[in-house]
Amino acid sequence: MAADTWNRSPTEQRWWSKTILTGAALSAVLLPAGALGARFGIWNYGTGFLLLAAGTMLASIVLVIGITGIVVAHRRTLSRDMPALYIAAGIAALILALMGLQFYKAYSVPPIHNVSTDVSDPPQFDRVAALRGEEANPLEFDAEEIAPLQQEAYPWLETLESSLPPAAALERSVSVLEEQGLDVVNVDETAGIVEATDTTFWFGFKDDLVVRVRPGASGSRVDVRSVSRVGRSDLGANARRIGEFLAAFGAES
């Protein structure tokens, strides 16, 4: 039977090349399924990450077997198997490259999820605290641990000096947050803060942000803090979000 498998016509596609291609397709489905299933509450984050790991593992197996199959197909001139094998290997390689990029991000940034432009007196949350849930990361800012890591990785996270008066700066903050797609949940003119929540597309992770506006020497001082609800490392997402806010705020001031 094995001999029959190899001795078929070179123009007839074999079951094993179809199986390899099916494995590649399945690995490509597992990744978004795991993330989107968690986002829409079909399963929890843990299950979503397990599906992500399963898809990555399957892609690794497909890549190894696919490359082996390509070598065999070339040696035996199995022309009908070539496209399926190349497509399978390409899909697997792309998946591993994407996941490798995520691992690189994880190891290239500090394992923190709580960053602020003012590490000595970070802006404080108000209404958002009640929305985070009991299992969310704590909101306490451990400056002794976080500040050195943050300042080394994100030295550009600094207080924004604006020429706008405090009231106008607070209004500008609301506009910028809404333009960036965040859900503004609280505007407190007395305290000079705006609170908002950002929901990621993949997994539906929620990160909370607070903008604090205080009078400055010639206008106002704007500080921003962003905190992830779950996870130890944010892959740099909170710092990037603050940077985008500061850039947009400064460009419009």
Which tokens belong to 94? 């792309």
- Count other Cβ atoms within 10 Å, centred on residue 171: 16
Sketch the domain layout of the chain as residue ranges.
Answer: 2-108, 114-252
User: What pLDDT shows up at residue 12?
Assistant: 65
Secondary structure of residue 210 in the 3-state scheme: strand
Instruction: State pLDDT tens for residues 113-147.
Output: 999 999 999 999 999 999 998 889 999 999 999 99
In whole angstroms, what is the distance from residue 69 CA to residue 159 CA? 57
pLDDT of 105 > 90? The answer is: no
More confident of the two residues 46 and 10: 46
Which tokens belong to 108? 């290239």
In whole angstroms, what is the distance from residue 55 CA to residue 189 CA? 48
Instruction: State pLDDT tens for residues 17-27.
Output: 999 999 999 99
pLDDT of 151 > 60? The answer is: yes
pLDDT of 8 > 70? The answer is: no
In whole angstroms, what is the distance from residue 77 CA to residue 96 CA? 28
Which tokens belong to 167? 């009231």
Q: How much of the chain exceeds pLDDT 70, in percent?
A: 94
In whole angstroms, what is the distance from residue 23 CA to residue 58 CA? 7
CATH (residue range 114-252): 3.30.530.50
Instruction: State pLDDT tens for residues 43-100.
Output: 998 999 999 999 999 999 999 999 999 999 999 888 899 999 999 999 999 999 999 9
**DSSP letter, residue 114:** E
Q: How confident is the model at residue 6 (pLDDT cuts 50, 70, 90)?
A: very low
User: Which of 175, 240, 238, 234 is CA-nearest to residue 209?
Assistant: 238
- 173 backbone dihedrals φ, ψ, rounded to 5°: -60, -45
